[in-house]
Structure 1
Amino acid sequence: MAAKDRREELIAAAFRVMVRDGVTKATTRAIVNEAKMPLGVFHYCFKSREELLQEVLARFTDRSTEAARKAFQEGGDLSTRISKSLGAFWDGVELFPGEHQVSYELTHYALRQAGFEELARQQYQSYLEAHQGLLAEAAKNEGIRWTVPVQVLARYLNAVLDGLTLCWLVDRNSEDSREVLRLTGEHLLTFVGKKE
């Protein structure tokens, strides 16, 4: 098996271990056992456990934002595109709750482990960049401007989605959660201004 394929399998194995057993139990040994590989292969593919966790977070972030990005690009008026994008993100939350729970665990783990703090910063920076990208694309394609700075709107969206996801992981109240998404989309539209 090529090194690239081994890396991919180790990343997938790390996801499985963390979803099933939690982040603290995802030791290097547990991950290679899950992947059915010898321990030496891990050190051949990754410099450290931190590097593997960075890859896990990057894959999670890409996966959780890609569906929203695609839905946003499907067309329709701005209200429809925002609604579709938020809905696509939310479908991912409900389909893969374990992965979203792992993302919170990884954030808290990284903040508490000396030398791992940068993982949490990178994770949230990537979320903010994804939101900023969609907001900038919306402004360009729709010929509008946002009346609030894009970086502030991105942080607002991230805070709402983050909090809503965590709340849903606790109570699994999909109906009320989707209503919050609808309200969020409507609220976002109140920050639309005409291009000058």
Structure 2
Amino acid sequence: MTDDEWRVEVELDEEEHGNALGERMRTTDLDEEARARLGRHAIVTRDGPRLFVYADRETRAREAERLIRELVAADGVDARVALTRWHPIEEAWKDASLPLPVDADERDAERARRDAAESAEAEREGEFDWHVRLELPGRGEAVELEHRLEAEGVPVSRRWRYLLAGALTEERAEALAQRLRADAPAGTEVSVEVNPSDLPSPLFVFLGARG
């Protein structure tokens, strides 16, 4: 068993080409060598004009890439074909020519890229997986702390004297909460909570609970 993950990505100009190519990948007669190299467990999925073939070994992924290029050429359609590899630390499909990280510095670099991508996505969508909730003694203190957190680059929302700061992970939320317990004005209540996607906005729940 291997944890290595490979994917052939195919982007066609028209959706019907994706239907036809996917069906041919599932039913085409392969020679014995191709069948052995591709394996019996390659998975083919389709999303409109995009086709994906998943494999657990590089040799099988490259065989799938070769087969797809042959089928595309035989059909005379335009397609962009790329071989990618899953990088588990960065949690991203990347070009197969890029090796997996092998030392601590490279692993840290992938974590940094993952965190930056997750942060950008969370800011675009306005949702974070974890939140630090703060109830301050008064509105003035809340406004001052809101401005300070914004200057630090912390995503924060304020309603009256209540603040909600977003965090990507529980560890980051706990670290932020610990710092704010020491730095926030006396009397500030600080707590950490998860933000399940199937629940209403935590800001709404937080303020609603206070009436």
TM-score grouping bracket, smaller chain normalisation: under 0.3
**Greater strand share, structure number:** 2
**Greater helix share, structure number:** 1
Structure-2-length-normalised TM-score? 0.25
Structure possessing the higher radius of gyration over alpha carbons: 2
Structure-1-length-normalised TM-score? 0.26
